[in-house]
Structure 1
């Protein structure tokens, strides 16, 4: 049975994703228009440059979720309190490293971007870097409070607060840009909102959940356990930065900021795609930890893996299919023809991420069993090779060559992980693919049926786009309903309000 907190957390996650996507769709062209494509490119490029410091979290947040869930399952309150105290000591050292490394990066901005940025852009870049360094130094340790709530399976209130935070941030962005704000203003807004969110989450963890952080002793074995677990989570975070944000730096070193802006739009749309899947998968790391502590059978783990994967796949395939069919028209209406190339970037990213996103619960199980070292090695190797080959291809083929290379190596990494999950977790991947094949077939049928039908809709503008999406949704749901099992059909029926259900 799925708990009320997980159901509430999932619903709020999707409410947040729906709000962020809708607001993002409306807000992004407004930001681009207000800043201009060149400054928008500068804003995203500097965000990517400083964003690498966020990997210095070293996966401690994930460690908190894993270890606190473990201590709770073992009812070891003293161990939990000491673990959290040791974690915050480590966080203090991390924040110090961020300030030092960030300062070094600040001092070398002229050397890195002096050939591609104007003097005015360099001045703005330096101000943004200083603010972002402070932001990250505070946000990384502050994220521990949200991780504590996750470990306590308290999802509803934190996610509701996160939704309010995003909506308020969006409103402030509109107001600030309306009155002539620039990229520096956006960075200041993000920093202030992050500080407010951290204080709120600390209040929930310390006063609502009554979590205690108390230092008893510094156990070397505990510190090593945290390190051995978190270092590979750190590697995975580094991989995410290398895959997507490093491309902005590569392009920024060789092309003007407008090219970076087009690439950033594709990355943004790809990140929205990933967010839909993570809304469910992010709620299940504590469950994976509990399953590990209870030593659940391979059959139970396989069934849970397939169940979560199938739900994620329904959502992912709908977004992927819809974008393939109407993505060009959407980008034209959304940000204009200047960003038309972002369609291909986004499709490549979506296709490349589909398997990885739909199978993310397997990654949670690997983390819970502390067997994610192998995945860290494989994914880091594949990413370095993908980025290296992509960098070379980008010199001749621009962002298309870069993304194509990264996606190709994502597929190679996933093939290796199918074998590893079958070996280490004893997840029956043959059983998984039998379930997935029906979904894939219905997805392709829905695409083939919808493509000629959408061509009959000739209405221009957003109304025509919405009509096409609605038609595809009808075809897609009709096809996918044929492969839903009884549990999934019951889940769909439960989402229908009682007042709309047909009474027999």
Structure 2
């Protein structure tokens, strides 16, 4: 398949993956919760978060593989590529050994960490899950290198297609296992088996189809240093992500029951779905925008592009946020049940905190293109570690919501502190940016007003009211959008609308 077709096919399959992840996830999560029960679902997510936190021990190496393989391929340096991969897999072997050591330490200290909140039966299940997941992670980290090699070779379609098939099969098997009485241990065993199958397929693609070889030609100490140097900031950003969203489950599990962990996990899940929508939009516009940063683009043109992309992302995000404010409480009730009511408030706070970061991704891409990640990396690490330390104190005394508020506070603080850096180093006119973005805030004010009216006039839950509120909000949202939409956005909307087959046929 040609390079262009690989890119187009890979992009199309990325959207299919996003759609499947969100839709199937929304359908599957309540089924898993009801099948396992809140306590066991909380245990399942907590141990998953613990092992997920260990996944940062890859030190950003998977993304480094993509970058270096693409570089050697562009230079037609087959020997350099083989030598680099040999060095990389030596590092992966060390990382897998580190995972086993760290995992072993955690395994033998589970009673000490969670003895006050977990029952003996839960401790036993947690230990079995940990053993399976440590084995899974020790193989998955080096296995991920083969997916990275595919990306470096711009072989997107087959690996993504395999991943989609895996997601569908895994979802069907989860349903079957739980219907036949399976528990959380069954699910982690299933995930491990599926992982091994996918790694084997990716190895076949790399070795047999792409004919890539891993061979040590000469030992190169400088190459190790270069690999680690490139991986460092990717590792920092991964640490930040884990501290923000995964570490919370470990903290809560140390002070509260696994049922409380489960409610927090549902709130985080809804926040992740929210972020996925912006990823789909950003994927369309950001590649073109990144290319602009390597040229000497004037400040006005760069800011224009930044504003265009941010506004388009915000139109989508604010619609979702507004809709969730209005009907989210009812949605959570019908989705996972009354006991998860607090997840609605967790999700709203998380969504508000994520909105500025998700909509300003272009500014971060400029920094990445200019290799100016150090300042933001250090700032994020400092703020996130500070927030985590404060959260550990607050969550014990003031509950889970205090931890989420602290996380979001530091998320928003990072956005504020980055403004001078964007102005100076990314060459962006941030004052004009906020001036042109501000009108969109009207949408949230309208959402809050509609939400209060809905609560006042329709205090009881009703599916008809839920869908009626969504319909009413959608019409009002479209009306407000028409008033504040720019010419560029109007033309873009028309071009996208006319690509829909039924509308295109009706017009013609």
**Structure-2-length-normalised TM-score:** 0.88
State the Cα distance separating 1:472 from its structure 2 match: 2.9
How far apart, CA to CA, are the structure 2 residues paired with 1:153 and 1:310? 31
Residues 1:9 and 1:229: Cα distance change in structure 2 (over 3 Å): same
For residues 132-143 of structure 1, what are the structure 2 equivalents within 5 Å? 132-143=133-144
Asked if 1:21 corresponds to 2:22, the answer is yes
State the Cα distance separating 1:442 from its structure 2 match: 4.8
Residues 1:101 and 1:179: Cα distance change in structure 2 (over 3 Å): same
How far apart, CA to CA, are the structure 2 residues paired with 1:447 and 1:111? 45
Residue in 1 that maps onto 2:500? 496
How far apart, CA to CA, are the structure 1 residues paired with 2:467 and 2:163? 28
- What are the Cα deviations for residues 373-393 of structure 1, in whole angstroms up to 9, with x where unaligned? 211111111111112222222
- What are the Cα deviations for residues 89-134 of structure 1, in whole angstroms up to 9, with x where unaligned? 2112111111111111111112111221111111101000000001
State the Cα distance separating 1:68 from its structure 2 match: 3.6
Alpha-carbon contact 2:498-2:504 (below 8 Å) kept = no
SS of residue in 2 equivalent to 1:115: coil
Worse overlay, 147-156 or 177-186: 147-156
How far apart, CA to CA, are the structure 2 residues paired with 1:277 and 1:196? 31
Q: How many residues matched?
A: 502
Asked if 1:189 corresponds to 2:190, the answer is yes
How far apart, CA to CA, are the structure 2 residues paired with 1:462 and 1:295? 53
- What are the Cα deviations for residues 309-333 of structure 1, in whole angstroms up to 9, with x where unaligned? 3433232222211111111000111
Residues 1:141 and 1:363: Cα distance change in structure 2 (over 3 Å): farther
How far apart, CA to CA, are the structure 1 residues paired with 2:371 and 2:45? 34
State the Cα distance separating 1:361 from its structure 2 match: 3.5
How far apart, CA to CA, are the structure 1 residues paired with 2:103 and 2:272? 25
Worse overlay, 33-42 or 76-85: 76-85
How far apart, CA to CA, are the structure 2 residues paired with 1:352 and 1:243? 11
For residues 379-394 of structure 1, what are the structure 2 equivalents within 5 Å? 379-394=380-395
Residue in 1 that maps onto 2:273? 272
Residue in 2 that maps onto 1:240? 241
State the Cα distance separating 1:213 from its structure 2 match: 4.1
Gaps of 5+ in 1: none
Residues 1:157 and 1:118: Cα distance change in structure 2 (over 3 Å): same
Residue in 2 that maps onto 1:483? 485
How far apart, CA to CA, are the structure 1 residues paired with 2:470 and 2:70? 41
For residues 211-230 of structure 1, what are the structure 2 equivalents within 5 Å? 211-230=212-231
How far apart, CA to CA, are the structure 1 residues paired with 2:114 and 2:49? 13
State the Cα distance separating 1:238 from its structure 2 match: 1.1
Residues 1:111 and 1:417: Cα distance change in structure 2 (over 3 Å): same
- What are the Cα deviations for residues 227-250 of structure 1, in whole angstroms up to 9, with x where unaligned? 122112111111111111211111
Q: Over aligned residue pairs, what C-alpha RMSD do you find?
A: 3.1
How far apart, CA to CA, are the structure 2 residues paired with 1:400 and 1:181? 32
Residue in 1 that maps onto 2:318? 317
Worse overlay, 60-69 or 441-450: 441-450
State the Cα distance separating 1:276 from its structure 2 match: 2.1
Residues 1:409 and 1:334: Cα distance change in structure 2 (over 3 Å): same
